[in-house]
Amino acid sequence: MPNRSPIGIFDSGLGGLTVFKEIRKILPGEDLIYFGDTARVPYGNKSKETIIKYSKEISGFLIRKGVKIIVIACNTSSSLAMDDLRREVKIPVFGVIEPGAKKAAAVSGGRTIAVIGTQATIKSTAYSRAILQEFKNRGLAFGKVIEKSCPLLVPIVEEGLGLGTGNGFGRDIAKRIVSYYLDPVKQENPYCLVLGCTHYPIIKDLIEGVVGKGMEIIDSGVEAALFIKNFLEKENMLKEGEVSGINQFFVSDDPGRFVELGGKFLNMNIENIGIISDFT
């Protein structure tokens, strides 16, 4: 029967708002609870054990809030903590890697794919393994997968340096760092580029400016939102009614900054926000 419980979404900080935005767009009636771990961002330079610990703590918090599914809107947590959460959590848990890998394999037709992400995500090889499995599932010759870690891109987004338009000092720094990471990737001439971190779509215009509009860019958050909608429809878990869903936000530190930067990205006022620093 229809399920009126909220959808829980979490990320290390602002990046998961790209997934939140896509879910809100295609599921306007669902209630959404978003948690951004702003006290401990970034996750990409932390150990697997630490990321699993953080992911379990946040999932426990969301479950206590009564969510019906958990969306790991963080590629680092998706790559390192997904299996542990699915073993321990009694509700469905979704990540962003599998949907992004499926889309990349589908559009590339076996041609070269580039993936950019945090150090932890790239080190895990989760994307290359998922993409190569999709090539196999589709009966395609194994294409080449290029993976590149871009550790400074998450701090750029969290500091708001790449937001907006124009050529201010902060935005110029962001452009230079994006070019530093992506110029070598572009030389490999990949057919498409997977944004293997949910922070990266926030600076998608800077990334397109480096790789050019001829290279298809895969946003794993968009693909994850579509996957989740299909799941909820199939399982008859969508919320009934036409009333717009409620948004709730929680962070582990500095809600003011999250409200400011997150509001700019979502183009909305973030009003219903709380701070959670103790997960017990």
Catalytic residues: 74, 197
Contact (CB, 8 A) for 175 and 144 = no
Query: Parallel, antiparallel, or unpaired: how do β-strands 7-11 and 32-36 relate?
Result: parallel
| Upstream peptide bond of 6 is cis (omega within 30 degrees of 0) | no
Contact (CB, 8 A) for 15 and 199 = yes
Q: What is the H or E stretch that residue 196 is in?
A: none
State the SS3 of the chain: CCCCCCEEEEECCCCCHHHHHHHHHHCCCCCEEEEECCCCCCCCCCCHHHHHHHHHHHHHHHHHCCCCEEEECCHHHHHHHHHHHHHHCCCCEECCHHHHHHHHHHHHCCCCEEEEECHHHHHHCHHHHHHHHHHHHCCCCCCCEEEEECCCHHHHHHCCCCCCCCCCHHHHHHHHHHHHHHHHHHHCCCCEEEECCCCHHHHHHHHHHHHCCCCEEEEHHHHHHHHHHHHHHHCCCCCCCCCCCCEEEEECCCHHHHHHHHHHHHCCCCCCEEECCCCC
Place of tokens 């124009």: 166
Contact (CB, 8 A) for 81 and 18 = no
